[in-house]
């Protein structure tokens, strides 16, 4: 049974179930038909005997039986006897050879070699003479009718079974049609490695449609994940290729072409700078990777976010002086938060460095921190730099994404700062967004 397909198994179970129902119905019908036929036969005998009693009269010492009385009435044989059992009128069935004693008012079922018979006797007092009226009816009429019904059922039952099997298979086949589409879509995706394919069932509320829609949503997420993974691999390779090439070229220069110690030190300085850049990128990637897997743990403690922001702003001010950018602060004092101090410092420093890096010479960087009416802490870092075009704003939180396509420059970073900032904000139960226009 386990080797059969689900459709065939369901069809077999459905057919077996229908066979059991039909068989039970037929048994019930035969039983009811037998009881009804027996009851009807008994009533026929009772009616025939009652009609016979109406046709017997005793007038002026003479017993009279009307000519309208027939000894065969609706299948029942009638006979009239005197008190000694002598036949006065009527007859018995030729096959009925039994000599059954009279019993007033009792319906009996008797059997002999010729079959089963219903016998009913009534004692009638005609003047001074007791008269017996007997009705006899064969049970063979009932049994022959039941046999005919059974023969008919024996012929119809296999047809019903085949009809149930065929109908069940068609219903199951139709019901499993969406499952075939799900299987075919999964096979096409597996064979062609094309995650853009979808099952695409029409609207429906049953379990199969719900399963198909769940698969389509899963394929959507898988496609996004795979595309992100491919983009991530491409971006990492691109970002590592430049510093690796610089390190190799500088090492070759120091080994083969450097003639003085100063030239060698200059080459080693370039190697160190690129190695630090690679180390920073690897560290950020490791943090984000752990965050994706839920393995990055925050070390929460009560922090004075106002003091931490002021400290980071003072550190950023030293960087801003080189670009002649002023740092302005508007920080509400003693704003407390349960957070990871290292992560929060990294978030604030990344944002401020980003504002300075893309700021205008002689411009400003504004750092604001306050508590909202609903008790939340809101920070704002604003600069009057080059700005970001609207079409790029939703993408700046993606890893390795940079508005400036010149990604090999060491001054522009590698595009991991803002994704790190977004992770840190959300890890602390917050949210972050950007508003900007080009220029």
For residues 253 and 248, what is the distance between their CA atoms, to the nearest angstrom?
9
- Which segment, 56-60, 200-204, 239-243, 433-437, is predicted with the most confidence on average? 433-437
Comma-separated ranges of CATH 3.30.450 domains in the chain: 6-170
Q: Token digits for 281?
A: 């990128």
Q: Is residue 406's pLDDT more than 50?
A: no
pLDDT at 86: 84
pLDDT at 408: 39
Comma-separated ranges of CATH 1.10.287.130 domains in the chain: 207-293
What would the pLDDT profile of 248-273 be if each residue is shown by its tens digit?
888 888 888 877 888 888 888 888 88
pLDDT at 425: 92
Per the CB < 8 A criterion, the answer to whether 104 and 88 are in contact is no
CA 248, 252, 257: angle at the middle one, nearest 5?
150
Tell me the mean pLDDT in the region 182-187: 77
Element holding 342 (H helix, E strand)? helix 341-357
Per the CB < 8 A criterion, the answer to whether 108 and 119 are in contact is yes
pLDDT at 326: 92
Nearest CA among 65, 88, 95, 94 for reference residue 134: 88
Helix, strand, or coil (residue 114): coil
Nearest CA among 197, 144, 204, 159 for reference residue 178: 204
3-state secondary structure 201-228: CCCCCCHHHHHHHHHHHHHHHHHHHHHH
Q: Token digits for 131?
A: 């008269």
Comma-separated ranges of CATH 3.30.565.10 domains in the chain: 301-427
Query: Between residues 191 and 30, which one has the greater pLDDT?
Result: 30
Confidence of residue 407 (pLDDT cuts 50, 70, 90): very low
- Which position has the token pair 């090999």? 408
- Which position has the token pair 């049970």? 139
What would the pLDDT profile of 370-385 be if each residue is shown by its tens digit?
999 998 999 999 998 8
Per the CB < 8 A criterion, the answer to whether 316 and 356 are in contact is yes
Q: Token digits for 368?
A: 């604001």
For residues 432 and 258, what is the distance between their CA atoms, to the nearest angstrom?
49
Per the CB < 8 A criterion, the answer to whether 298 and 423 are in contact is no
- Please say whether the dihedral angle defined by the alpha carbons of residues 378, 379, 384 and 388, taken in this order, is positive or negative: negative
Query: Between residues 363 and 140, which one has the greater pLDDT?
Result: 363
**Rounded alpha-carbon distances, angstroms, from residue 106 to 48, 83, 109:** 15, 17, 10
For domain 301-427, the CATH class is: alpha beta
For residues 267 and 252, what is the distance between their CA atoms, to the nearest angstrom?
9
pLDDT at 192: 55
Fold of 207-293: Helix Hairpins (1.10.287)
Predicted structure pTM score: 0.48
pLDDT at 369: 94
Helix, strand, or coil (residue 107): strand
343: which residues sit within 8 A by CB, 6+ positions away? 298, 424, 427, 428
pLDDT at 410: 45
pLDDT at 229: 75
What would the pLDDT profile of 41-98 be if each residue is shown by its tens digit?
788 888 888 888 877 777 777 777 776 677 777 778 888 888 888 888 888 887 777 7
CA atoms within 13 A on the CB side of 214: 8
What would the pLDDT profile of 100-159 be if each residue is shown by its tens digit?
888 888 888 888 777 778 888 888 887 777 888 888 887 766 666 666 777 777 777 788
CATH of domain 6-170: 3.30.450
pLDDT at 127: 76
pLDDT at 379: 94
């Amino acid at each position: 049974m386990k080797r059969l397909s689900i459709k065939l198994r369901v069809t077999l179970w459905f057919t077996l179930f229908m066979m059991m129902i039909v068989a039970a119905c037929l048994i019930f019908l035969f039983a009811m038909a037998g009881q009804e036929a027996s009851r009807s036969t008994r009533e026929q005998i009772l009616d025939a005997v009652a009609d016979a009693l109406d046709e017997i009269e005793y007038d002026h010492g003479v017993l009279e039986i009307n000519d309208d009385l027939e000894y065969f009435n609706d299948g029942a044989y009638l006979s009239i006897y005197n008190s000694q059992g002598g036949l006065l009128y009527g007859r018995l069935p030729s096959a009925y050879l039994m000599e059954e004693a009279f019993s007033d008012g009792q319906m009996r079922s008797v059997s002999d070699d010729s079959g089963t018979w219903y016998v009913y006797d009534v004692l009638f007092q005609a003047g001074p003479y007791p008269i017996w009226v007997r009705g006899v009816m064969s049970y063979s009429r009932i049994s022959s009718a039941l046999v005919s019904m059974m023969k008919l059922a024996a012929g119809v039952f296999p047809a019903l079974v085949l009809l149930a099997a065929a109908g069940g298979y068609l219903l199951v086949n139709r019901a499993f049609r969406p499952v075939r589409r799900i299987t075919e879509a999964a096979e096409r995706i597996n064979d062609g490695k094309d995650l853009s394919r979808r099952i695409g069932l029409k609207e429906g509320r049953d379990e199969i449609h719900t399963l198909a829609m769940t698969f389509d949503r899963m394929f959507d997420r898988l496609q996004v994940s795979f595309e992100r993974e491919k983009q991530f691999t491409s971006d990492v390779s691109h970002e590592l290729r430049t510093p690796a090439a610089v390190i190799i070229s500088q090492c070759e220069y120091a080994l083969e072409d450097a003639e003085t110690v100063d030239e060698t030190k200059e080459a080693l300085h370039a190697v160190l700078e690129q190695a630090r850049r690679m180390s920073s990128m690897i560290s950020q990637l490791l943090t984000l990777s752990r965050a994706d897997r839920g393995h990055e743990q925050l070390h929460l403690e009560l922090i004075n976010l106002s003091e931490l922001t002021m400290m980071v702003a003072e550190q950023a001010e030293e960087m801003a002086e080189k670009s002649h950018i002023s740092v302005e602060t508007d920080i509400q004092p003693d704003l407390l938060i349960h957070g990871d101090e290292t992560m929060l410092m990294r978030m604030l420093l990344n944002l401020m460095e980003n504002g300075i890096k893309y700021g205008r010479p002689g411009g400003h960087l504004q750092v604001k921190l306050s508590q909202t009416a609903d008790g939340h802490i809101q920070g704002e870092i604003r600069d009057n730099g080059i700005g970001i075009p609207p079409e790029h704003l939703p993408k700046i939180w993606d890893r390795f994404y940079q508005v400036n396509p010149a990604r090999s420059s060491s001054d522009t970073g590698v595009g991991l700062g803002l994704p790190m900032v977004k992770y840190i904000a959300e890890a602390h139960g917050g949210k972050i967004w950007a508003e900007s226009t080009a220029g």
